[in-house]
Amino acid sequence: MNPRPGSPRLRWALALAVALAIGAAAGAGAYALTSHHSSSPSASPVVVPAQPASSTSTVDSLTQLYKQDAPGIVDITVQSNSSAGSSGGFPFGNPGGSQKQKAEGTGFEIDTKGNILTAEHVVDGATSIKVTFEDGSTAKATLVGTDKSTDTGVIHVDLPASRLHPLALGNSSSAEPGQNVVAIGSPFGLAETMTAGIDSATNRTITAPNGFSITGAIQTDAAINHGNSGGPLIDVATNTVIGINDQIESDTNDSAGVGFAVPIDASKSVAQTLIAGGTVQHAWLGVGLARVGAARVTKVVAGSPAAKAGLKAGDVVTSFNGQTVSSADDLSAAVTAAKPCETVGVTVQRSGSTKHLSVTLGVQPKSASS
């Protein structure tokens, strides 16, 4: 699986989710493996100088956190059949057409029943999944379900509760810039690697494997690289998982200190639905928005809820479901928080006048290009 160079200048590529989706950042994708399972980068490895730890926690406290959490974090090895045009281990594709692949990512235990949370793109198209635990033991895993819209996946191992060490899930909604965090995962196949940093920013918007927007993402300077995908971003103060490491922004395709984690609040809800055997659905408005400034509609998808409600290109959305909207991200977050088939009020500015519209939201299609 060949890494695709990151395209920072394309992060604001249009996605017809509800708003502008941050485009395909160079990601912490599944790490490609050779056919004989040895860890081998697809290009000459680049040695990145170690970054000073942003955390003010003592070495002893981070050491203790690692000892507590590492047993609950697993290395995931996946074999899959990938073909051109599929997500192919988003955000890294396989331009060579259909072929068998082996790749490596990260996951973490969330209960004593054997359920493991990871990123959807780590297990996308998997024909077999193997997990390796901290003590070196392995187990075959089965796929419970995935959700491309939040890049969330759940796999399951059939093991006794005594062998499992679930991590505590926190609340990403309370994350703040400056909080000390650590990431634990398998960068470049180096399982159980911990890196430290801070929450650099919150409420970022990144792009899901299906092209829709993931809102509320946490930005961090804790080093994240290929193979970290699906691993936990842990708040040091509470020792709880606040995000799933997912993407990086980089000109070199390696960590530049700008990583993104899917907010755990979104993934928790998805995981609960998948484990219960339900179907995950997301609300859909069906517009594209301008990159900067106000939430200005640039395109309305034909037949979408927005089109049926009378939204037009050029409209500036100022309110959605009673919430003030001042940017594309505001609108995207508001739609994400809504439910499919819910009827909401939308206020827009059009040609100098204010219009109040009623929109019945739809169910998000499989991809933003649908």
Q: Is the N-terminal amide bond of 365 cis, ω within 30° of 0?
A: no
**Assigned token pair, 111:** 């209960």
- Asked whether the beta carbons of 325 and 295 are under 8 A apart, the reply is yes
What is the number of helices (H) and of strands (E) in the chain? 5, 21
Q: What count of other Cβ atoms lies within 10 Å of the Cβ of residue 37?
A: 13
Task: Give Dmax (Cα) for the chain.
Answer: 66
State the Cα–Cα distance between residues 66 and 75, nearest whole angstrom.
Answer: 15
As a residue count, the chain comes to: 370
Residues paired with residue 184 on neighbouring β-strands, in sequence order: 194
Q: Where are the strands (E) in 279-352, listed by range?
A: 283-284, 287-289, 295-300, 316-320, 323-324, 343-350
Q: Is the N-terminal amide bond of 91 cis, ω within 30° of 0?
A: yes
**Assigned token pair, 181:** 């965090």
Which residues are known to be catalytic? 121, 151, 229
End-to-end alpha carbon distance in the chain? 26
**Assigned token pair, 194:** 């911990």
Handedness of CA 118, 122, 126, 128 (dihedral sign): negative
- Asked whether the beta carbons of 177 and 198 are under 8 A apart, the reply is yes
Q: What is the DSSP string of 314-333?
A: T-EEEEETTEE--SHHHHHH
- CA 120, distance to chain mean position in Å, is 8
Residues paired with residue 349 on neighbouring β-strands, in sequence order: 316, 354
Chain position carrying tokens 């998997």: 126
- Asked whether the beta carbons of 220 and 233 are under 8 A apart, the reply is yes
